[in-house]
Protein backbone atom coordinates (compact mmCIF):
# COMPACT_ATOMS: atom_id res chain seq x y z
CA UNK A 1 0.00 0.00 0.00
CA UNK A 2 1.36 3.45 -0.97
CA UNK A 3 2.07 5.45 2.19
CA UNK A 4 4.50 8.21 1.28
CA UNK A 5 2.67 10.95 3.11
CA UNK A 6 2.14 12.68 -0.20
CA UNK A 7 -0.39 15.51 -0.09
CA UNK A 8 -3.00 16.30 -2.70
CA UNK A 9 -3.57 20.01 -2.53
CA UNK A 10 -5.75 20.33 -5.59
CA UNK A 11 -9.10 21.85 -6.41
CA UNK A 12 -10.64 18.37 -6.52
CA UNK A 13 -9.49 17.49 -3.00
CA UNK A 14 -10.76 20.80 -1.66
CA UNK A 15 -14.19 20.25 -3.21
CA UNK A 16 -14.33 16.71 -1.84
CA UNK A 17 -13.33 17.95 1.60
CA UNK A 18 -16.01 20.62 1.52
CA UNK A 19 -18.62 17.95 1.01
CA UNK A 20 -17.01 15.66 3.56
CA UNK A 21 -17.50 18.34 6.18
CA UNK A 22 -21.17 17.43 6.04
CA UNK A 23 -20.23 14.21 7.86
CA UNK A 24 -18.05 15.77 10.53
CA UNK A 25 -18.70 14.33 14.01
CA UNK A 26 -21.85 12.57 12.79
CA UNK A 27 -22.38 8.94 13.82
CA UNK A 28 -21.27 6.57 11.10
CA UNK A 29 -24.48 4.58 11.51
CA UNK A 30 -26.61 7.48 10.36
CA UNK A 31 -24.51 9.81 8.28
CA UNK A 32 -25.84 8.82 4.87
CA UNK A 33 -29.33 9.88 5.80
CA UNK A 34 -28.05 13.03 7.48
CA UNK A 35 -25.84 14.43 4.73
CA UNK A 36 -27.63 16.63 2.20
CA UNK A 37 -26.18 17.44 -1.18
CA UNK A 38 -23.76 20.34 -1.35
CA UNK A 39 -22.89 22.47 -4.33
CA UNK A 40 -19.27 22.40 -3.13
CA UNK A 41 -19.18 18.64 -2.83
CA UNK A 42 -17.10 16.41 -5.01
CA UNK A 43 -18.28 13.07 -6.42
CA UNK A 44 -17.00 10.83 -3.66
CA UNK A 45 -17.87 12.17 -0.24
CA UNK A 46 -21.50 11.10 0.14
CA UNK A 47 -20.72 7.71 -1.43
CA UNK A 48 -17.98 7.24 1.17
CA UNK A 49 -20.45 7.77 3.99
CA UNK A 50 -23.11 5.56 2.44
CA UNK A 51 -20.51 2.83 2.04
CA UNK A 52 -19.60 3.00 5.73
CA UNK A 53 -23.25 2.79 6.74
CA UNK A 54 -23.68 -0.23 4.49
CA UNK A 55 -20.56 -1.89 5.90
CA UNK A 56 -21.69 -1.52 9.50
CA UNK A 57 -25.18 -2.79 8.74
CA UNK A 58 -23.79 -5.71 6.77
CA UNK A 59 -21.30 -6.56 9.53
CA UNK A 60 -24.12 -6.93 12.06
CA UNK A 61 -26.25 -8.91 9.61
CA UNK A 62 -23.37 -11.17 8.56
CA UNK A 63 -22.42 -11.86 12.17
CA UNK A 64 -26.04 -12.82 12.80
CA UNK A 65 -26.07 -15.22 9.83
CA UNK A 66 -22.82 -16.87 10.87
CA UNK A 67 -23.87 -17.16 14.51
CA UNK A 68 -27.20 -18.71 13.53
CA UNK A 69 -25.36 -21.29 11.43
CA UNK A 70 -22.97 -22.04 14.30
CA UNK A 71 -25.80 -22.49 16.76
CA UNK A 72 -27.96 -24.70 14.55
CA UNK A 73 -25.33 -26.68 12.68
CA UNK A 74 -22.56 -29.16 13.48
CA UNK A 75 -19.91 -26.41 13.67
CA UNK A 76 -21.51 -24.67 16.64
CA UNK A 77 -18.87 -22.93 18.73
CA UNK A 78 -18.19 -24.02 22.29
CA UNK A 79 -19.38 -21.45 24.81
CA UNK A 80 -16.87 -22.59 27.40
CA UNK A 81 -13.67 -20.53 27.81
CA UNK A 82 -10.78 -22.50 26.37
CA UNK A 83 -13.13 -24.77 24.42
CA UNK A 84 -12.01 -26.12 21.05
CA UNK A 85 -13.79 -23.48 19.01
CA UNK A 86 -12.55 -20.62 21.18
CA UNK A 87 -8.87 -21.55 20.90
CA UNK A 88 -8.51 -19.84 17.52
CA UNK A 89 -10.41 -16.63 18.35
CA UNK A 90 -7.25 -14.58 18.96
CA UNK A 91 -5.74 -15.75 15.69
CA UNK A 92 -8.92 -14.91 13.79
CA UNK A 93 -9.02 -11.41 15.27
CA UNK A 94 -5.30 -10.85 14.66
CA UNK A 95 -5.87 -11.76 11.01
CA UNK A 96 -8.90 -9.46 10.82
CA UNK A 97 -7.15 -6.33 12.10
CA UNK A 98 -4.21 -7.03 9.78
CA UNK A 99 -6.56 -7.54 6.82
CA UNK A 100 -8.10 -4.07 7.19
CA UNK A 101 -4.64 -2.53 6.94
CA UNK A 102 -3.58 -4.85 4.12
CA UNK A 103 -6.65 -3.70 2.21
CA UNK A 104 -5.66 -0.04 2.53
CA UNK A 105 -6.37 1.48 5.94
CA UNK A 106 -3.48 3.45 7.39
CA UNK A 107 -3.75 1.90 10.85
CA UNK A 108 -6.23 0.10 13.10
CA UNK A 109 -6.52 -0.72 16.77
CA UNK A 110 -9.25 -2.90 18.26
CA UNK A 111 -10.32 -4.67 21.45
CA UNK A 112 -12.80 -7.43 22.39
CA UNK A 113 -13.71 -8.25 25.98
CA UNK A 114 -16.24 -10.98 26.70
CA UNK A 115 -16.51 -14.09 28.86
CA UNK A 116 -13.61 -16.30 27.82
CA UNK A 117 -12.18 -13.66 25.45
CA UNK A 118 -9.69 -10.92 26.24
CA UNK A 119 -8.14 -9.76 22.98
CA UNK A 120 -6.51 -6.57 21.75
CA UNK A 121 -4.74 -6.10 18.45
CA UNK A 122 -3.36 -3.41 16.18
CA UNK A 123 -1.80 -3.13 12.74
CA UNK A 124 -0.48 -0.47 10.40
CA UNK A 125 0.86 2.99 11.16
CA UNK A 126 0.08 5.66 13.71
CA UNK A 127 0.60 8.56 11.33
CA UNK A 128 0.80 9.32 7.64
CA UNK A 129 4.41 9.54 6.53
CA UNK A 130 5.74 8.08 9.79
CA UNK A 131 7.15 4.70 10.64
CA UNK A 132 5.74 4.15 14.15
CA UNK A 133 3.48 1.12 14.25
CA UNK A 134 -0.05 1.39 15.65
CA UNK A 135 -0.45 -0.30 19.03
CA UNK A 136 -3.27 -1.44 21.29
CA UNK A 137 -2.52 1.46 23.66
CA UNK A 138 -2.72 4.26 21.09
CA UNK A 139 -5.19 7.08 21.56
CA UNK A 140 -7.30 8.49 18.73
CA UNK A 141 -10.03 11.07 18.18
CA UNK A 142 -13.25 9.38 19.28
CA UNK A 143 -15.47 12.10 17.80
CA UNK A 144 -19.14 11.50 18.65
CA UNK A 145 -18.34 8.95 21.36
CA UNK A 146 -17.84 12.18 23.33
CA UNK A 147 -21.62 12.51 23.45
CA UNK A 148 -21.95 9.50 25.75
CA UNK A 149 -19.53 11.20 28.16
CA UNK A 150 -21.35 14.55 28.09
CA UNK A 151 -24.74 12.86 28.51
CA UNK A 152 -23.34 11.05 31.56
CA UNK A 153 -22.43 14.39 33.13
CA UNK A 154 -25.89 15.72 32.39
CA UNK A 155 -27.55 12.71 34.03
CA UNK A 156 -25.32 13.16 37.07
CA UNK A 157 -26.82 16.63 37.41
CA UNK A 158 -30.29 15.10 37.22
CA UNK A 159 -29.38 12.64 39.96
CA UNK A 160 -28.03 15.48 42.11
CA UNK A 161 -31.33 17.28 41.80
CA UNK A 162 -29.89 20.40 40.16
CA UNK A 163 -31.63 19.47 36.91
CA UNK A 164 -34.53 17.38 35.77
CA UNK A 165 -34.99 15.97 32.29
CA UNK A 166 -37.42 18.86 31.74
CA UNK A 167 -34.89 21.57 32.67
CA UNK A 168 -34.75 23.99 29.75
CA UNK A 169 -31.89 25.83 28.13
CA UNK A 170 -33.44 29.09 29.31
CA UNK A 171 -33.42 27.84 32.91
CA UNK A 172 -29.62 27.50 32.84
CA UNK A 173 -28.54 29.90 30.09
CA UNK A 174 -31.07 32.73 30.00
CA UNK A 175 -30.94 34.67 26.76
CA UNK A 176 -28.53 32.34 24.95
CA UNK A 177 -31.29 31.14 22.64
CA UNK A 178 -34.36 33.09 21.52
CA UNK A 179 -36.90 32.85 24.33
CA UNK A 180 -39.47 31.03 22.19
CA UNK A 181 -36.91 28.23 21.68
CA UNK A 182 -34.81 28.26 24.83
CA UNK A 183 -37.85 28.20 27.11
CA UNK A 184 -39.12 24.92 25.65
CA UNK A 185 -35.99 22.97 24.64
CA UNK A 186 -35.20 20.51 27.42
CA UNK A 187 -32.12 18.64 28.60
CA UNK A 188 -33.77 15.37 27.57
CA UNK A 189 -34.42 16.67 24.06
CA UNK A 190 -30.83 17.84 23.66
CA UNK A 191 -29.45 14.47 24.79
CA UNK A 192 -31.80 12.47 22.55
CA UNK A 193 -31.51 14.72 19.44
CA UNK A 194 -35.18 15.62 19.58
CA UNK A 195 -34.81 19.37 20.16
CA UNK A 196 -34.87 20.47 16.53
CA UNK A 197 -31.46 22.12 16.91
CA UNK A 198 -29.54 22.68 13.65
CA UNK A 199 -27.81 19.59 12.26
CA UNK A 200 -24.84 21.13 10.49
CA UNK A 201 -23.74 24.16 12.48
CA UNK A 202 -20.12 22.97 12.89
CA UNK A 203 -19.75 22.43 9.17
CA UNK A 204 -21.25 25.83 8.44
CA UNK A 205 -19.02 27.48 11.03
CA UNK A 206 -15.93 26.08 9.32
CA UNK A 207 -17.11 26.85 5.79
CA UNK A 208 -17.79 30.45 6.83
CA UNK A 209 -14.03 30.83 7.34
CA UNK A 210 -13.09 29.40 3.94
CA UNK A 211 -12.74 32.24 1.45
CA UNK A 212 -12.19 29.93 -1.54
CA UNK A 213 -14.05 26.58 -1.32
CA UNK A 214 -11.71 25.21 -4.01
CA UNK A 215 -8.55 25.97 -2.03
CA UNK A 216 -7.09 23.27 0.19
CA UNK A 217 -4.94 25.90 1.90
CA UNK A 218 -8.09 27.75 2.99
CA UNK A 219 -9.51 24.57 4.48
CA UNK A 220 -6.26 23.70 6.23
CA UNK A 221 -6.18 27.17 7.75
CA UNK A 222 -9.80 26.90 8.90
CA UNK A 223 -9.10 23.56 10.62
CA UNK A 224 -6.27 25.07 12.63
CA UNK A 225 -8.19 28.13 13.84
CA UNK A 226 -9.76 28.54 17.26
CA UNK A 227 -13.54 28.34 17.57
CA UNK A 228 -14.87 30.03 20.68
CA UNK A 229 -18.18 29.16 22.28
CA UNK A 230 -19.43 32.50 20.97
CA UNK A 231 -18.56 31.34 17.44
CA UNK A 232 -20.65 28.24 17.98
CA UNK A 233 -23.56 30.20 19.43
CA UNK A 234 -23.47 32.79 16.66
CA UNK A 235 -23.75 30.09 14.00
CA UNK A 236 -26.47 28.22 15.92
CA UNK A 237 -28.42 31.47 16.30
CA UNK A 238 -28.10 32.20 12.58
CA UNK A 239 -29.45 28.78 11.59
CA UNK A 240 -33.18 28.03 11.76
CA UNK A 241 -34.42 25.38 14.19
CA UNK A 242 -35.36 22.34 12.11
CA UNK A 243 -38.66 21.48 13.80
CA UNK A 244 -40.68 22.25 16.89
CA UNK A 245 -38.89 20.77 19.93
CA UNK A 246 -40.09 17.29 20.80
CA UNK A 247 -41.95 16.68 17.54
CA UNK A 248 -39.23 14.83 15.63
CA UNK A 249 -35.62 13.69 15.64
CA UNK A 250 -32.47 14.90 13.90
CA UNK A 251 -28.87 14.29 14.86
CA UNK A 252 -27.49 17.61 16.13
CA UNK A 253 -23.99 18.50 17.23
CA UNK A 254 -25.41 21.87 18.27
CA UNK A 255 -27.43 20.17 21.00
CA UNK A 256 -24.31 18.76 22.63
CA UNK A 257 -22.40 22.04 22.33
CA UNK A 258 -25.29 23.60 24.27
CA UNK A 259 -25.24 20.76 26.83
CA UNK A 260 -21.54 21.32 27.41
CA UNK A 261 -22.07 25.04 27.94
CA UNK A 262 -24.99 24.36 30.31
CA UNK A 263 -22.84 22.00 32.37
CA UNK A 264 -20.09 24.61 32.65
CA UNK A 265 -22.57 27.29 33.69
CA UNK A 266 -24.30 25.05 36.21
CA UNK A 267 -21.16 23.71 37.90
CA UNK A 268 -18.72 26.60 37.43
CA UNK A 269 -16.14 24.16 36.04
CA UNK A 270 -14.82 23.77 32.45
CA UNK A 271 -15.92 20.69 30.58
CA UNK A 272 -12.45 19.12 30.49
CA UNK A 273 -12.27 19.27 34.29
CA UNK A 274 -15.76 17.84 34.71
CA UNK A 275 -14.97 14.94 32.39
CA UNK A 276 -11.68 14.21 34.11
CA UNK A 277 -13.05 14.05 37.65
CA UNK A 278 -16.57 12.77 37.08
CA UNK A 279 -16.14 10.38 34.12
CA UNK A 280 -12.55 9.53 33.17
CA UNK A 281 -11.04 8.86 36.59
CA UNK A 282 -14.06 7.09 38.16
CA UNK A 283 -14.29 4.84 35.10
CA UNK A 284 -10.54 4.08 35.03
CA UNK A 285 -10.12 5.80 31.64
CA UNK A 286 -6.48 6.60 32.39
CA UNK A 287 -5.55 7.86 28.92
CA UNK A 288 -8.76 9.67 27.96
CA UNK A 289 -8.65 13.40 27.42
CA UNK A 290 -10.78 16.33 26.36
CA UNK A 291 -8.19 18.50 24.60
CA UNK A 292 -8.69 22.22 24.24
CA UNK A 293 -5.57 22.86 22.16
CA UNK A 294 -4.53 21.51 18.72
CA UNK A 295 -1.89 18.85 18.26
CA UNK A 296 -1.46 15.45 19.88
CA UNK A 297 0.64 14.04 22.71
CA UNK A 298 2.06 10.59 23.35
CA UNK A 299 1.19 7.49 21.33
CA UNK A 300 -1.58 8.68 19.00
CA UNK A 301 -3.22 7.44 15.81
CA UNK A 302 -3.52 10.58 13.71
CA UNK A 303 -6.43 10.76 11.29
CA UNK A 304 -5.84 10.73 7.54
CA UNK A 305 -8.04 11.37 4.50
CA UNK A 306 -7.56 9.44 1.25
CA UNK A 307 -8.43 11.08 -2.08
CA UNK A 308 -7.37 8.36 -4.51
CA UNK A 309 -4.33 7.70 -6.68
CA UNK A 310 -2.04 7.46 -3.65
CA UNK A 311 -3.04 10.93 -2.44
CA UNK A 312 -3.44 11.37 1.33
CA UNK A 313 -3.79 14.28 3.74
CA UNK A 314 -2.73 14.12 7.38
CA UNK A 315 -5.21 15.70 9.79
CA UNK A 316 -2.85 16.27 12.70
CA UNK A 317 -3.46 19.95 13.43
CA UNK A 318 -7.21 20.16 13.90
CA UNK A 319 -8.24 22.48 16.67
CA UNK A 320 -10.62 20.54 18.95
CA UNK A 321 -12.56 23.70 19.80
CA UNK A 322 -14.42 23.20 16.51
CA UNK A 323 -16.11 20.14 18.05
CA UNK A 324 -16.51 21.25 21.69
CA UNK A 325 -18.97 19.03 23.59
CA UNK A 326 -20.10 17.36 20.37
CA UNK A 327 -16.91 15.42 19.72
CA UNK A 328 -13.56 16.71 21.01
CA UNK A 329 -12.53 13.78 23.23
CA UNK A 330 -9.63 11.39 22.64
CA UNK A 331 -9.20 7.93 24.15
CA UNK A 332 -7.84 4.41 23.71
CA UNK A 333 -9.93 1.33 23.00
CA UNK A 334 -9.49 0.27 26.64
CA UNK A 335 -10.73 3.69 27.80
CA UNK A 336 -13.88 3.36 25.70
CA UNK A 337 -14.49 -0.19 26.95
CA UNK A 338 -14.21 1.07 30.51
CA UNK A 339 -16.60 3.93 29.79
CA UNK A 340 -19.38 1.54 28.76
CA UNK A 341 -18.61 -0.91 31.55
CA UNK A 342 -18.69 1.81 34.22
CA UNK A 343 -21.77 3.50 32.80
CA UNK A 344 -23.88 0.42 32.18
CA UNK A 345 -22.96 -1.23 35.49
CA UNK A 346 -24.09 1.79 37.51
CA UNK A 347 -20.71 3.16 38.63
CA UNK A 348 -21.04 6.56 36.92
CA UNK A 349 -24.78 6.91 37.47
CA UNK A 350 -27.30 4.72 39.27
CA UNK A 351 -28.46 1.51 37.54
CA UNK A 352 -31.90 3.07 37.11
CA UNK A 353 -30.41 6.14 35.45
CA UNK A 354 -28.22 3.98 33.21
CA UNK A 355 -31.29 2.03 32.12
CA UNK A 356 -33.05 5.30 31.34
CA UNK A 357 -30.12 6.38 29.15
CA UNK A 358 -30.31 3.11 27.20
CA UNK A 359 -34.04 3.46 26.57
CA UNK A 360 -34.63 4.76 23.02
CA UNK A 361 -36.51 8.05 22.73
CA UNK A 362 -37.13 7.58 19.03
CA UNK A 363 -35.56 6.67 15.69
CA UNK A 364 -33.03 8.81 13.87
CA UNK A 365 -31.96 8.86 10.23
CA UNK A 366 -35.09 7.26 8.90
CA UNK A 367 -34.99 4.49 11.50
CA UNK A 368 -31.34 3.56 10.95
CA UNK A 369 -30.67 3.83 14.69
CA UNK A 370 -32.71 4.06 17.89
CA UNK A 371 -31.25 6.75 20.12
CA UNK A 372 -31.57 7.08 23.88
CA UNK A 373 -29.68 9.65 25.97
CA UNK A 374 -26.16 9.85 24.54
CA UNK A 375 -26.36 6.16 23.57
CA UNK A 376 -27.90 4.25 20.65
CA UNK A 377 -28.53 0.56 20.09
CA UNK A 378 -27.98 -2.00 17.30
CA UNK A 379 -29.30 -5.58 17.14
CA UNK A 380 -27.19 -8.11 19.05
CA UNK A 381 -26.19 -10.78 16.51
CA UNK A 382 -25.58 -13.27 19.33
CA UNK A 383 -29.03 -13.07 20.94
CA UNK A 384 -32.36 -12.68 19.16
CA UNK A 385 -34.37 -9.71 20.34
CA UNK A 386 -31.48 -8.20 22.31
CA UNK A 387 -29.22 -5.24 21.56
CA UNK A 388 -25.71 -3.87 21.87
CA UNK A 389 -25.46 -0.30 23.12
CA UNK A 390 -22.96 2.49 22.67
CA UNK A 391 -21.92 5.02 20.08
CA UNK A 392 -19.57 5.56 17.20
CA UNK A 393 -17.58 8.48 15.91
CA UNK A 394 -16.93 9.66 12.39
CA UNK A 395 -14.21 12.31 12.34
CA UNK A 396 -12.94 13.36 8.92
CA UNK A 397 -9.90 11.07 9.18
CA UNK A 398 -10.89 8.48 11.79
CA UNK A 399 -13.70 5.98 12.37
CA UNK A 400 -14.42 4.57 15.83
CA UNK A 401 -17.02 2.18 17.24
CA UNK A 402 -17.75 1.34 20.88
CA UNK A 403 -20.57 -1.15 21.59
CA UNK A 404 -21.38 -3.23 24.66
CA UNK A 405 -24.04 -5.55 25.97
CA UNK A 406 -26.24 -3.78 28.53
CA UNK A 407 -24.46 -5.53 31.42
CA UNK A 408 -21.06 -4.39 30.07
CA UNK A 409 -19.80 -7.99 29.93
CA UNK A 410 -19.44 -8.17 26.14
CA UNK A 411 -17.62 -5.27 24.51
CA UNK A 412 -16.09 -4.38 21.16
CA UNK A 413 -14.17 -1.21 20.38
CA UNK A 414 -12.16 -0.18 17.33
CA UNK A 415 -10.45 2.83 15.79
CA UNK A 416 -9.25 3.16 12.18
CA UNK A 417 -7.28 6.24 11.17
CA UNK A 418 -8.28 6.43 7.51
CA UNK A 419 -11.33 7.71 5.63
CA UNK A 420 -11.81 7.19 1.91
CA UNK A 421 -13.07 10.19 -0.07
CA UNK A 422 -11.84 9.04 -3.48
CA UNK A 423 -15.28 8.17 -4.85
CA UNK A 424 -13.94 4.86 -6.13
CA UNK A 425 -16.38 1.97 -6.52
CA UNK A 426 -13.81 -0.18 -4.72
CA UNK A 427 -13.47 0.93 -1.09
CA UNK A 428 -10.06 1.63 0.42
CA UNK A 429 -10.89 -1.02 3.03
CA UNK A 430 -13.93 -2.93 4.26
CA UNK A 431 -14.67 -2.15 7.90
CA UNK A 432 -16.83 -5.26 8.20
CA UNK A 433 -13.72 -7.39 7.67
CA UNK A 434 -12.80 -6.42 11.21
CA UNK A 435 -16.20 -5.64 12.73
CA UNK A 436 -17.89 -8.95 11.85
CA UNK A 437 -15.33 -11.25 13.52
CA UNK A 438 -15.20 -8.92 16.53
CA UNK A 439 -18.96 -9.25 16.96
CA UNK A 440 -18.77 -13.02 16.57
CA UNK A 441 -16.01 -13.28 19.14
CA UNK A 442 -18.44 -12.07 21.81
CA UNK A 443 -21.06 -14.77 21.06
Domain residues of the chain, as ranges? 11-164+251-441
Top pLDDT among 335 and 429 is at 335
Q: Of the given ranges (118-127, 263-272, 295-304), which has the lowest mean pLDDT?
A: 295-304
Quote the CA–CA distance of 195 and 201 in Å, as a whole number: 14
Q: How far apart are CA 344 and CA 339, in angstroms?
A: 8
Q: Are strands 369-371 and 140-141 parallel, antiparallel or unpaired?
A: unpaired
Dihedral sign for Cα atoms in the order 314, 111, 352, 60: positive
What is the percent of the chain where pLDDT is above 70? 84
Euclidean distance between CA atoms 47 and 420, whole angstroms: 10
Query: 333-344 and 351-358 are packed helices; what angle lies between their axes, rounded to 10 degrees?
Result: 110
**CATH classification of 11-164+251-441 is 3.40.710.10, yes or no?**
yes
pLDDT greater at residue 194 or residue 53: 194
Residue 21's pLDDT band (boundaries 50, 70, 90)?
low
Question: What is the C-alpha to C-alpha distance for residues 329 and 143, in angstroms, rounded to an integer?
Answer: 6
Q: Tell me the pLDDT band of 28, cut-offs 50, 70 and 90.
A: low
Q: What is the Cα–Cα distance from 434 to 441, expressed in whole angstroms? A: 11
Of 181 and 87, the one with more pLDDT: 181
| Least confident segment among 7-11, 383-387, 413-417 | 7-11
Report whether pLDDT(7) > 50. no
Which position has the higher pLDDT, 14 or 94? Answer: 94
Q: CB-based contacts of 230: which residues, under 8 Å, 6+ apart?
A: none
Digit-coded pLDDT (tens) for 361-405: 998 877 778 999 999 999 999 999 999 999 998 887 899 999 999
Q: Is the model's pLDDT at 84 over the cut of 60?
A: no
pLDDT class for 49, splitting at 50, 70, 90? very low
Looking at per-residue pLDDT, the higher value among 191 and 3 belongs to 191
Bridge partners (DSSP) listed for residue 122: 109
pLDDT at 61: 80
Whether 11 shows a pLDDT value over 80: the answer reads no
Summarize the confidence of residues 161-186 as an average pLDDT.
95
Helix extents (H) in 73-145: 89-103
Residue 171, sorted as left (phi over 0), alpha (psi -120 to 50) or beta, turns out to be alpha
**pLDDT for res 262:** 97
The strand order across the sheet containing 376-379 reads: 117-124, 107-114, 411-416, 399-404, 387-394, 376-379, 369-371, 362-364
pLDDT at 85 over 80: no
Quick one: pLDDT at residue 20?
56
DSSP string for residues in 8-19: --SHHHHHHHHH
H or E stretch at 199: none
Integer-rounded Cα radius of gyration of the chain: 21
Checking if the pLDDT of 356 tops 90, the result is yes
What per-residue confidence (pLDDT) applies to 46?
38
CB distance 141 to 331 below 8 Å:
no
pLDDT of 217-263, one tens digit each?
A: 777 788 788 999 999 999 999 988 999 999 999 889 999 999 999 99
Residue 291 has pLDDT above 90, yes or no: yes
State the Cα angle at 34 between 335 and 256, rounded to 5°.
45
What percentage of the chain carries pLDDT values higher than 90? 59
Q: Give the pLDDT band of residue 41 (cuts 50, 70, 90).
A: very low
pLDDT at res. 313 = 82
- The overall average pLDDT reported for the chain is 85
0.85 exceeded by the pTM?
yes
Q: How far is CA 312 from the centre of its chain?
A: 22
What is the DSSP pairing of strand 304-308 with strand 140-141? unpaired
Instruction: Examine the pLDDT at 77 and tell me if it is beyond 60.
Output: no
Amino acid sequence: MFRSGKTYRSRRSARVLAGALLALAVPVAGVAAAAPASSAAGPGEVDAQERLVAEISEAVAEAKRIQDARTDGPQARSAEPGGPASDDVDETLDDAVAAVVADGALGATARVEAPGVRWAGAAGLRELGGDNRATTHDRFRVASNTKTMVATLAMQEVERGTWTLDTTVEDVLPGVLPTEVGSVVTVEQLMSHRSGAPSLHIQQMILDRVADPESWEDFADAFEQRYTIDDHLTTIDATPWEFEPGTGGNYSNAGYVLLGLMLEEETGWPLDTLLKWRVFLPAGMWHADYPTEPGVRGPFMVGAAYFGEGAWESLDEWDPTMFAGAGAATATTRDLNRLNEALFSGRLVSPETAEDMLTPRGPLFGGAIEYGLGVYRVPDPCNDGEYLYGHDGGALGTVSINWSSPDGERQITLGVNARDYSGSETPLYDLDELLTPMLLATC
